[in-house]
């Protein structure tokens, strides 16, 4: 098991720290560290602070993803899903929430707004070549399988 170190910004002690909500959960929820009620009108987005800084282990990334309940019930998603938190980032984690729904969505302090899944991440050696190897698929793109 890897260790994730979390720092809670001063003034956020009243907000529950992230935790896994089941024994085999892949992700843990992120809280909203808003001072006042925040409303996201339909078709708009807001950058929402979590009041947390994280020390993600080298070789991993934090993938910020929508919470399925917020998506299914309210049409709320993470605009750049999945958002990536690099292991060398030490700033406050913020989430870009988008209201895909038809009604305004209200966020209160401490609401669980998104989730993070920690995933292995490697850097590649990038090499410029004169061409790439052929495959059976070739350059067939979107919808090439008929689905």
CA–CA gap between residue 30 and residue 110 (Å, rounded): 9
8 A C-beta contact, residue 55 and residue 4: yes
Give the per-residue pLDDT at 146: 66
Residues paired with 116 in a beta bridge = 28, 64
State the sign of the Cα–Cα–Cα–Cα dihedral 133, 139, 142, 143: negative
pLDDT, one tens digit per residue, over 129-146 is: 999 999 988 888 777 676
CATH homologous superfamily for 5-120? Deoxyuridine triphosphatase (dUTPase) (2.70.40.10)
Give the per-residue pLDDT at 147: 60
Note the pTM of the prediction, 2 decimals. Answer: 0.88
User: Domain residues of the chain, as ranges?
Assistant: 5-120
pLDDT, one tens digit per residue, over 11-64 is: 999 999 999 999 999 999 999 999 999 999 999 999 999 999 999 999 999 999
Average pLDDT value over all residues in the chain: 95
Q: What is the CA radius of gyration of the chain?
A: 19
Backbone phi and psi for residue 107, each to the nearest 5 degrees, phi listed first: -115, 130
Helix (H, G, I), strand (E, B) or coil at 73: helix
């Amino acid at each position: 098991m890897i260790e994730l170190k979390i720092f809670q910004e001063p003034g956020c002690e009243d907000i529950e720290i992230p935790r896994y909500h089941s024994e085999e959960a892949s992700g843990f929820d992120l809280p909203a560290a808003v001072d006042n009620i925040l409303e996201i009108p339909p078709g708009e987005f807001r950058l929402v602070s979590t009041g947390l800084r994280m020390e993600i282990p080298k070789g991993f990334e934090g993938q910020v993803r929508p919470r399925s309940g917020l998506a299914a019930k309210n049409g709320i998603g993470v605009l750049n899903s999945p958002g990536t938190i690099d292991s060398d980032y030490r700033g406050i984690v913020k989430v870009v929430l988008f209201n895909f729904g038809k009604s305004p969505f209200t966020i209160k302090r401490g609401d669980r707004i998104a989730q993070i899944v920690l995933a292995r991440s490697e850097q590649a050696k990038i090499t410029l070549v004169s061409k790439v190897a052929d495959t059976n698929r070739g350059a067939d793109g979107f919808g090439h399988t008929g689905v």
